[in-house]
């Protein structure tokens, strides 16, 4: 008997692989990790498609109550479902280590994630540098470690995938301090918000005229891709979540040809894009 770590892909219940679906149907319990990312459909759609009940696993359960997930996984099959690919977040690696410590075999079943689906915008996956995360700024907390990584990538002519913050089942500082299990409404960072934060940091790594690509709801029927300067993208309505942003480095002319097709203004794109002829 095993613990399956199953990637669900990017969009809806039908993005699961055939191998993943067969594994799910063999399981006595099915958990859905629901805080590092989200699908475009609710668990009810998953349950109808899998013909199995699905248990929502929030951050507390995964990080502090993993024993409940691993219970009897040496006697029955258990599935842990992850949006995207199983190892897109270190939390999932930690769960595998905990299972191994208990002698429970683990079987990962891979799927598409933003890390490879981002190639749809035309920028070569071989030309990406370090991926960065951009979290919501607060009045007292403005982490900007992403700046150094974007700068290092751009110095080498590489593109930077920016993963934008999501807040699911978060507590306010006051409720946390008082021990009250009251949660804030979910929040998902938009591309314009991410750009506002990027441009609020003083840096030479990028500027308002740096070319970038905004991607929304990758893999879904309403997928949206728009390219332009950071300043231009700041005014684009990308609609519902999830959003990602790519800060472009130096583009091969073939990359530029594809990205140009998504441009807010082809004239502006041609003016500011850094393009190599080789």
Identify the domain boundary among 96, 112, 128: 112
Residues of the chain with pLDDT under 70: 169-184
Same-domain check for residues 41 and 156: no
Is there a binding annotation on residue 88? yes
Same-domain check for residues 85 and 150: no
132-134 and 160-164 beta bridge pairing:
parallel
Is there a binding annotation on residue 218? yes
pLDDT for 186 = 84
Is there a binding annotation on residue 114? yes
Is there a binding annotation on residue 275? no
Same-domain check for residues 91 and 119: no
CA distance 129 to 158: 5
Is there a binding annotation on residue 161? no
Same-domain check for residues 76 and 152: no
In a domain, 241, yes or no: yes
Is there a binding annotation on residue 159? no
pLDDT for 173 = 63
In a domain, 135, yes or no: yes
Is there a binding annotation on residue 132? no
Tens of pLDDT, residues 157-196: 999 999 999 987 665 666 666 666 666 688 999 999 999 9
In a domain, 175, yes or no: yes
Structural domain count of the chain: 2
In a domain, 277, yes or no: no
Which domain covers residue 196, as residue numbers?
Answer: 115-272
In a domain, 147, yes or no: yes
Same-domain check for residues 108 and 120: no
Same-domain check for residues 97 and 122: no
In a domain, 194, yes or no: yes
Same-domain check for residues 196 and 251: yes
pLDDT for 182 = 67
Look at phi and psi of residue 101 and say left if phi exceeds 0, alpha if psi is from -120 to 50, else beta.
alpha
Q: What is the dihedral of CA 257, 259, 264, 269, to 10 degrees?
A: -60
CA distance 259 to 268: 13
Quick check: 172 and 225 in contact, CB under 8 A?
no
Is there a binding annotation on residue 228? no
Identify the domain boundary among 58, 77, 112: 112
Same-domain check for residues 243 and 261: yes
Task: Give which of 98, 53, 101, 103 is closest to 79, Cα–Cα.
Answer: 53
């Amino acid at each position: 008997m095993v613990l399956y770590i199953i990637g669900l892909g990017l969009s809806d219940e039908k993005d699961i692989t055939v191998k993943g679906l067969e594994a799910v149907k063999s399981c006595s319990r099915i958990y859905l990790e629901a805080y590092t990312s989200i699908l475009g459909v609710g668990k009810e759609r998953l349950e109808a498609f899998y013909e199995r009940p699905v248990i929502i696993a929030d951050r507390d359960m995964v990080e502090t109550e993993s024993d409940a997930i691993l219970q009897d996984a040496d006697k029955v099959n258990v599935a842990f479902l992850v949006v995207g690919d199983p190892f897109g977040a270190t939390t999932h690696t930690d769960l595998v280590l905990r299972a191994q410590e208990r002698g429970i075999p683990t079987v990962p079943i891979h799927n598409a994630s933003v890390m490879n689906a981002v190639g749809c915008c035309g920028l070569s996956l071989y030309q990406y540098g370090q991926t960065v995360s951009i979290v919501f700024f607060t009045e007292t907390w403005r982490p900007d470690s992403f700046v150094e990584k974007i700068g290092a990538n751009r110095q080498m002519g590489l593109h930077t995938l920016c993963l934008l913050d999501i807040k699911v089942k978060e507590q306010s500082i006051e409720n946390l301090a008082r021990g009250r299990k009251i949660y804030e409404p979910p929040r998902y960072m938009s591309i314009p918000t991410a750009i506002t934060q990027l441009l609020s940091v003083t840096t030479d790594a990028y500027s308002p005229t740096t070319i970038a690509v905004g991607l929304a709801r990758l893999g879904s029927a309403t997928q949206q891709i728009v390219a332009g300067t950071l300043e231009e993208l700041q005014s684009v309505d990308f609609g519902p979540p999830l959003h990602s942003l790519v800060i472009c480095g130096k583009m091969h002319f073939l990359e530029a040809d594809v990205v140009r097709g998504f441009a807010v203004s082809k004239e502006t794109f041609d003016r500011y894009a850094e393009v190599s002829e080789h």
